[in-house]
């Protein structure tokens, strides 16, 4: 089994936030691959299905971003999964809008969801799919950027990106990261070209929010 975790904050008021692109990617999978209905388990919403010959559990933690690790560790422990069986999808300030990268382990770059997972499972050596949302260009504006809705102009690249992700995800499930990235690049090249000039350098994300741990 592959545990595919999308990071985000629960509730309709956060659904359109840039910080919730991990949730959006999982929703796109459920629609394209006829996954089961979402149900509550492991302090999350989970949906089970199959991509190719691999059984996949999709997980959207409901613990808020800063405590994502609690939900992930519960699911991984229940199914006795190894690190190779865990894949985390998240927003990335260090990438221009529409860009996607796969990373094995490494730092958390100030991302509160990644930090929580690393603390809960005791290591940073889990695979991530990083969806670029760009940087607002001013460190003081980072909070409003990640915890703000995608702008109307973003729809020009966001919808095609999610469609490309869905088309390429079988490569990801088969552990063919190169094939996954090549497929996305082929399907989104015009959109990436349009966003290539967007600022991509990132400052650290803000410290975890105290009110509800929603950061």
Residue 172 lies in a domain: yes
Instruction: Report the predicted TM-score, pTM, of the whole model to 2 decimal places.
Output: 0.87
Does 206 have pLDDT greater than 70?
no
Does 187 have pLDDT greater than 70?
yes
Average pLDDT score over residue span 49-65: 97
Burial profile 98-124: b = 16 or more Cβ within 10 angstroms, e = fewer: bbbeeeeeeebbbbbbbbbbbebbeeb
In this structure, what CATH number is given to the domain that contains residue 67?
3.40.50.1470
Instruction: Give catalytic residue positions.
Output: 19
Residue 10 lies in a domain: yes
Residue 207 lies in a domain: no
Residue 201 lies in a domain: no
The length of the chain in residues reads: 215
Residue 205: its pLDDT value, please? 41
Residue 202 lies in a domain: no
State which residues form the domain around 184.
Answer: 2-195
Number of domains comprising the chain: 1
Residue 97 lies in a domain: yes
Residue 208 lies in a domain: no
């Amino acid at each position: 089994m592959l545990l595919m975790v999308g990071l985000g904050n629960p509730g309709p008021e956060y659904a359109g936030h840039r910080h919730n692109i991990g949730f959006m990617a999982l929703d796109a999978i459920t629609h394209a691959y006829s996954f089961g209905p979402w149900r509550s388990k492991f302090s999350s919403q989970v949906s089970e299905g199959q991509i190719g010959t691999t059984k996949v559990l999709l997980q959207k933690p409901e613990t808020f971003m800063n405590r994502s690790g609690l939900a992930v560790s519960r699911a991984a422990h229940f199914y006795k999964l190894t690190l190779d069986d865990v894949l985390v999808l998240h927003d990335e300030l260090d990438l221009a809008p529409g860009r996607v990268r796969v990373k094995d382990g490494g730092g958390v770059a100030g991302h509160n969801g990644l930090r929580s997972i690393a603390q809960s499972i005791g290591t940073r050596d889990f695979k991530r799919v990083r969806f670029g949302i760009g940087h607002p260009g001013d460190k003081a504006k980072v909070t409003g950027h990640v915890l703000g809705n995608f702008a109307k102009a973003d729809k020009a690249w966001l919808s095609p990106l999610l469609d490309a992700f869905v088309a390429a995800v079988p490569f990801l499930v088969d552990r063919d990261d190169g094939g996954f990235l090549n497929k996305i690049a082929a399907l989104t090249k015009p959109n990436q070209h349009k966003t290539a000039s967007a600022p991509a350098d990132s400052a650290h994300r803000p410290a975890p929010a105290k009110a509800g741990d929603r950061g």
